[in-house]
Amino acid sequence: MTDKKQNTGNKNTGDWNTGHSNTGHRNTGDWNTGNKNTSDRNTGYKNTGDRNTGSWNTGDRNTGDCNTGDWNTCDKETGYFNTVNPTHINVFNKPCPIVIWNEADKPSFIYFKLTEWILKSNMTDEEKTDNATFKTTGGYLKSYGYQEAFQASYAKASDEDKALLLKLPNFDAEVFKEISGIDVTVKATTCEGKIVEIEGVKYQLKEVKP
């Protein structure tokens, strides 16, 4: 039988659970039979809401997927008690056809992690002091603030990836700043491209990377 030492809760049959009575893996809630749920009583996967049989729901009691509302049997619904899939969603606070959003190239940095399993070997002394159960679990589940995680992911992104953000449907810099804390209208100061004149001769400056 596989050793379940990675669990910090009780009555778990899966691995890496910090809640109780889970039969799936990497759950932080209780009574889940699916995987990677952070809430309770889900049979689907990656739910932050409760009592879902679908997956990726932040609402409760959904049998569909990707719902933020409750009691829906369809997918991607933000309202309540619906059976028909919506054709439009709000993107940056404005209506947008779902098909347009689905076809849009999305930057990779927006898919950041709010939690991360830190292995014992990678834990600092302070983390070990604050998370004494690492001795039995082999690590601990680290949580990040929403804007903290967003900004860290953005900082690591390539210029090409950042450019995709500006091409998203209905993109609104102010709305994005309110959500992420990132002001994309602020440009780094540079002399790149400026014209200077030295002893009557004009030169165009080019930045030299360190």
49-98 pLDDT, tens digit each? 766 776 667 766 576 666 766 667 677 676 777 788 889 988 899 999 98
pTM: 0.60
Residue 190 pLDDT: 59
Instruction: Tell me what pLDDT residue 168 has.
Output: 96
What pLDDT is attached to residue 192?
Answer: 64
Q: What percent of the chain has pLDDT over 70?
A: 73
**3 DSSP 8-state letter:** -
**Res 2: pLDDT:** 46
CB proximity list for 57: less than 8 A, separation 6 or greater: 42, 44, 47, 48, 49, 64, 65, 66, 67, 68
Report pLDDT for 144. Answer: 84
Is 17 a residue whose pLDDT tops 70? yes
Return the higher-pLDDT residue of 179 and 206.
Answer: 179
pLDDT of 20-34, one tens digit each? 668 777 787 766 876
**What are the angstrom distances between the C-alpha of 117 and each of 113, 174, 186?**
10, 33, 34
Find the mean pLDDT for residues 100-126. 91
